[in-house]
A and B are shown apart, each in its own frame.
Chain A
Amino acid sequence: GAVVSQHPSWVICKSGTSVKIECRSLDFQATTMFWYRQFPKQSLMLMATSNEGSKATYEQGVEKDKFLINHASLTLSTLTVTSAHPEDSSFYICSASPRGSGTYGYTFGSGTRLTVV
């Protein structure tokens, strides 16, 4: 089955530093990947759509300079949280679809728990 690998699973960083999270599709190519943010006991909020070879599309209210997305290959998208602050602490999850569309289910990574101290 389709597998999406996300690393790291958890990270603790100091305020002001940057953190990179990787999302890889292991057995399929993904021209599009999605990045979500989830606060404790809440639902997933879409942050941005990552497009291979082009700029990411950010949702309203998401700072593109704060959350840098790079989708340099068909199997890898990265999310970099720049100049992280405690309010950026959250659970970040990526997803992709083997069929390249929303007409079949999406496969999610296992998530990254970011804690900024």
Chain B
Amino acid sequence: SQQGEEDPQALSIQEGENATMNCSYKTSINNLQWYRQNSGRGLVHLILIRSNEREKHSGRLRVTLDTSKKSSSLLITASRAADTASYFCATVGGGSNYKLTFGKGTLLTVNP
């Protein structure tokens, strides 16, 4: 089952602009991960943030996590046309359940 919602469902921006995508989830988590998927391809792991972390950076990516609101955001700064893809958040629950539960995804289009 889906963990929650991502918004927006689609986002279109110009190169150089920042892109922000949000993700909400319903149950307690061990960690939250963001993945990227180019059309018709597999997923690429971008970044993982643990439940006791609030913010994490990796290159042009910045992820925040608010466990009180059960939400996360992914910020891509200085976007490039090559960033065009679908972006999914996925959560891993507590305990020994290591399954990923995906959100519905955001389709990001970066126009050159």
Seen from chain A, the residues whose Cβ lies within 8 Å of a Cβ on chain B are 4, 6, 32, 34, 41-46, 49, 91, 93, 95, 97, 101-111, 113
Minimum CB–CB distance from B1 to chain A (whole Å) comes to: 8
Could you tell me if B103 and A108 are in contact, using CB atoms closer than 8 angstroms? Answer: no
Seen from chain B, the residues whose Cβ lies within 8 Å of a Cβ on chain A are 2, 30-31, 33, 35, 40-45, 48, 50, 88, 92, 97-105, 107
Given A43-B2, A44-B88, A103 and B40 contact (CB-CB distance below 8 Å): no
Residues of B within 8 A of A32 (CB): 98
Could you tell me if A43 and B103 are in contact, using CB atoms closer than 8 angstroms? Answer: yes
Could you tell me if B42 and A34 are in contact, using CB atoms closer than 8 angstroms? Answer: no
Contacts A32-B98, A44-B88 given; 12 further ones with Cβ under 8 A?
A42-B104, A43-B104, A44-B100, A44-B102, A46-B99, A46-B101, A93-B42, A102-B31, A102-B100, A106-B45, A106-B100, A111-B40
Residues of A within 8 A of B102 (CB): 43-45
Minimum CB–CB distance from A108 to chain B (whole Å) comes to: 4
Could you tell me if A105 and B48 are in contact, using CB atoms closer than 8 angstroms? Answer: yes
A49 to B97, CA, bound (A): 11
Residues of B within 8 A of A102 (CB): 30-31, 92, 97-100
A71 to B32, CA, bound (A): 27
Residues of A within 8 A of B33 (CB): 105-106
The answer, among B40, B43, B48, B104, for a CB contact under 8 Å with A104, is B48
Could you tell me if A34 and B99 are in contact, using CB atoms closer than 8 angstroms? Answer: yes
Minimum CB–CB distance from A51 to chain B (whole Å) comes to: 11
Given A32-B98, A44-B88, A102-B99, A95 and B30 contact (CB-CB distance below 8 Å): no
Residues of B within 8 A of A105 (CB): 33, 45, 48
A91 to B37, CA, bound (A): 13
6 closest A-B pairs (Cβ-Cβ)?
Answer: A102-B98, A105-B45, A102-B92, A108-B42, A108-B43, A110-B42
Minimum CB–CB distance from B90 to chain A (whole Å) comes to: 8
A49 to B88, CA, bound (A): 20
